[in-house]
A and B are shown apart, each in its own frame.
Chain A
């Protein structure tokens, strides 16, 4: 909680007379409430991950435990005493499915998004705006519609049943658009002179792309891959419609929330939060160091 207090303090702008100070106080109170709104549910969720109570709760506290993370197995009989994360096969299997899908999505979305960006930045034609609208339309389409269209399309045309593959395709459709926007932003800062200089020195178009354009885009490709991977892992609405009889980590969490709540979900949440905080802090430090 100390962080929200800190950030709220940061909001105080230089004061100019008492009339402004009042609105500043109100604003700071509002910001504090806003960040409480953001963080209190998380704290509650974290708390319940360590409660012995097998119904996720913090009000009904039955003692501290790590069982929901580690599970507890009687070593002699092999009997499961507490069903923690390691014993929840469907969660683990779902995580595996999610990773497979996300890797596939990165492999599909990066080339597509990159091609779209390369085409749009260099196409000199009246239809550029139309093409652009078409290519970002998946971002503006509700996720469930993407899931539905992909599912029926592959069943109707190729007789492919809904599953990991259709989910991969459905994700790629809109994640490629996000990637494209990132690549376009990068390409707009590119010095065309470099490509011309390389051509002038006798390089073929393929070599120019390989040695000049691609290295220039490399940091963006990496970022886009990470973001695309996470977006795919996180997705629920599209996945829910495209996954068919299979499941991912996220859809499994969803069905557990409907049938059979367990603090293992809280444990997963805590792991998510820890990874996020570590990654975010690392990223901030990394950027600081890059800037010098």
Chain B
């Protein structure tokens, strides 16, 4: 098996008056574990179905391995799709399920059986080969679906939220397993999810989608540390947000006038004075002035609640209209009696000034 590159050129999808996907260019490298992350209804499944061939894009081309496959049906593409509900064939046994793709390619029964068993070996289901899928557990069914998709030796494996039906523990286990299979096979994985945890732990790169548009495509760490838009910033991980207007600029930084006073942060969007802006600060980057006196931005806030979450302490504070969340490392009893009015702050380098826009979950 050899992964192939996927290239979407000016692809868009329109259903009647509704635009599911706006014109999009996207390149997914061969052998990459690529995730498309976004809330439900953002158009990520539509993109997946255009890659797999179930939908023909309204405009643009879909190229796989450099070949234009826009008009080619799903049964003639080098892709395999793992469905959200798995779509195992209930009337066929496990091995017949796995061997179905081989049957479609006209491979003889004996050869099919042998290759199906090899794959079932890979996913540790050998002894269940003769059972019906309904007789298996959720995790086992999951693995049958993977084996079935891999049986056709696809260059691209498309996964449509395949873990959403599993419980938390199994989900975490399957994440590791998927990642391992991807490394072993070298197939290009395109993984659709609305769960940022899944995307962050497994992917090489992530595309964050919202309302039919890709907002950012970047390696995992960059998505987290340097979100490109207000939506990405708030959809991936937590952020404290302060709204205001840019007042001044100084060496790559922007000074923003907010109801809580002037705050300084990295001017990522090259905003000009007078423009609407938002400042984003991760909860773990906020600290007490008393512990770190060098913090460039400072606020007065009243502690409302403290939740101890093992290694962290989550502190919820209120400053005027704003709720501020602070994550502190649990380093002993230094923080456990935090209460009342506190002076908190964050470094200017840890604050991100972006153009005011849509926030996730609004």
Chains A and B touch each other in the complex, with CB atoms below 8 Å apart: yes
Contact among B53, B73, B90, B104 for A201, CB-based, below 8 A: B104
* Closest beta carbon of chain B to A156's beta carbon, Å: 46
B87 at the interface (CB under 8 A from A): yes
> With a CB–CB cut-off of 8 A, which chain A residues contact B64?
none
A58 at the interface (CB under 8 A from B): no
Report yes or no: A197 in contact with B75, Cβ–Cβ below 8 A.
no
- In the complex, what residue of chain A is closest to B151 when comparing beta carbons? A201
> With a CB–CB cut-off of 8 A, which chain B residues contact A212?
89
> With a CB–CB cut-off of 8 A, which chain B residues contact A204?
75, 104
A216 at the interface (CB under 8 A from B): yes
A203 at the interface (CB under 8 A from B): yes
B74 at the interface (CB under 8 A from A): yes
- In the complex, what residue of chain B is closest to A197 when comparing beta carbons? B87
> With a CB–CB cut-off of 8 A, which chain B residues contact A199?
54, 73-75
Report yes or no: B80 in contact with A201, Cβ–Cβ below 8 A.
yes
Q: Which A187-237 residues have C-beta < 8 A from chain B?
A: 191, 193-194, 196-204, 207, 211-212, 215-216
Contact among A193, A196, A201, A215 for B101, CB-based, below 8 A: A201
Known A196-B54, A197-B81, A211-B100: A202·B75 in contact at CB below 8 Å: yes
> With a CB–CB cut-off of 8 A, which chain A residues contact B148?
201
* Closest beta carbon of chain B to A126's beta carbon, Å: 14
B173 at the interface (CB under 8 A from A): no
Known A193-B85, A207-B104, A211-B100: A200·B91 in contact at CB below 8 Å: no
* Closest beta carbon of chain B to A155's beta carbon, Å: 46
> With a CB–CB cut-off of 8 A, which chain B residues contact A191?
85, 87
Report yes or no: A203 in contact with B100, Cβ–Cβ below 8 A.
yes
B184 at the interface (CB under 8 A from A): no
Report yes or no: A202 in contact with B152, Cβ–Cβ below 8 A.
yes
* Closest beta carbon of chain B to A291's beta carbon, Å: 15
> With a CB–CB cut-off of 8 A, which chain A residues contact B83?
193, 196-197
* Closest beta carbon of chain A to B65's beta carbon, Å: 16
Q: A-B pairs with CB below 8 Å: how many?
A: 63
Report yes or no: B104 in contact with A194, Cβ–Cβ below 8 A.
no
Report yes or no: A200 in contact with B81, Cβ–Cβ below 8 A.
yes
Report yes or no: A200 in contact with B100, Cβ–Cβ below 8 A.
no
Contact among A196, A198, A200 for B79, CB-based, below 8 A: A200
Contact among A193, A194, A202, A216 for B105, CB-based, below 8 A: A202
* Closest beta carbon of chain A to B53's beta carbon, Å: 8
* Closest beta carbon of chain B to A213's beta carbon, Å: 11
How would residues 124 to 139 of chain A score, 1 for a CB under 8 Å from any chain B CB and 0 otherwise?
Answer: 0000000000000000
> With a CB–CB cut-off of 8 A, which chain A residues contact B149?
201
Contact among B53, B88, B104 for A203, CB-based, below 8 A: B104
B76 at the interface (CB under 8 A from A): yes
Q: Which B42-94 residues have C-beta < 8 A from chain A?
A: 52-54, 73-76, 79-81, 83, 85, 87-91
Report yes or no: A198 in contact with B89, Cβ–Cβ below 8 A.
yes
Report yes or no: B85 in contact with A201, Cβ–Cβ below 8 A.
no
Contact among B75, B85, B90, B103 for A200, CB-based, below 8 A: B75
- In the complex, what residue of chain B is closest to A193 when comparing beta carbons? B87
Cα of A203 to Cα of B74 in the assembled complex, Å: 9
Report yes or no: B89 in contact with A202, Cβ–Cβ below 8 A.
no
Cα of A199 to Cα of B53 in the assembled complex, Å: 10
Report yes or no: A196 in contact with B75, Cβ–Cβ below 8 A.
no
Contact among A200, A203, A215 for B52, CB-based, below 8 A: A200
> With a CB–CB cut-off of 8 A, which chain B residues contact A198?
89, 100, 104
Contact among B85, B87, B91 for A215, CB-based, below 8 A: B91
Known A207-B104, A211-B100: A200·B89 in contact at CB below 8 Å: no
Report yes or no: A196 in contact with B74, Cβ–Cβ below 8 A.
yes
* Closest beta carbon of chain A to B86's beta carbon, Å: 8
Contact among A194, A202, A211 for B87, CB-based, below 8 A: A194
Cα of A280 to Cα of B54 in the assembled complex, Å: 45
Cα of A198 to Cα of B105 in the assembled complex, Å: 12
Q: Which B94-113 residues have C-beta < 8 A from chain A?
A: 100-101, 103-105
Cα of A214 to Cα of B88 in the assembled complex, Å: 16
Cα of A200 to Cα of B152 in the assembled complex, Å: 10
Report yes or no: B76 in contact with A202, Cβ–Cβ below 8 A.
yes
Cα of A211 to Cα of B73 in the assembled complex, Å: 19
> With a CB–CB cut-off of 8 A, which chain A residues contact B101?
201-203
Contact among A193, A194, A196, A201 for B152, CB-based, below 8 A: A201
Cα of A199 to Cα of B79 in the assembled complex, Å: 11
Cα of A215 to Cα of B54 in the assembled complex, Å: 23
- In the complex, what residue of chain A is closest to B96 when comparing beta carbons? A211
> With a CB–CB cut-off of 8 A, which chain A residues contact B73?
199
Report yes or no: B91 in contact with A201, Cβ–Cβ below 8 A.
no
- In the complex, what residue of chain B is closest to A216 when comparing beta carbons? B91
How would residues 272 to 289 of chain A score, 1 for a CB under 8 Å from any chain B CB and 0 otherwise?
Answer: 000000000000000000
The 8 closest A-B pairs by CB, nearest first: A201-B101, A197-B87, A193-B87, A203-B104, A202-B104, A200-B81, A199-B75, A199-B74
Q: Which A residues contact B (CB, under 8 angstroms)?
A: 191, 193-194, 196-204, 207, 211-212, 215-216
| A and B contact pairs by CB, cutoff 8 A, 16 listed | A191-B85, A194-B89, A196-B54, A196-B83, A197-B89, A199-B54, A200-B81, A201-B75, A201-B152, A202-B75, A202-B101, A203-B100, A207-B103, A211-B89, A211-B100, A212-B89
Since A194-B87, A200-B53 are in contact, a sample of 9 more A-B pairs with Cβ atoms closer than 8 Å, ordered by chain A residue number, is A196-B54, A197-B81, A200-B74, A200-B75, A202-B75, A203-B104, A204-B104, A207-B104, A211-B103
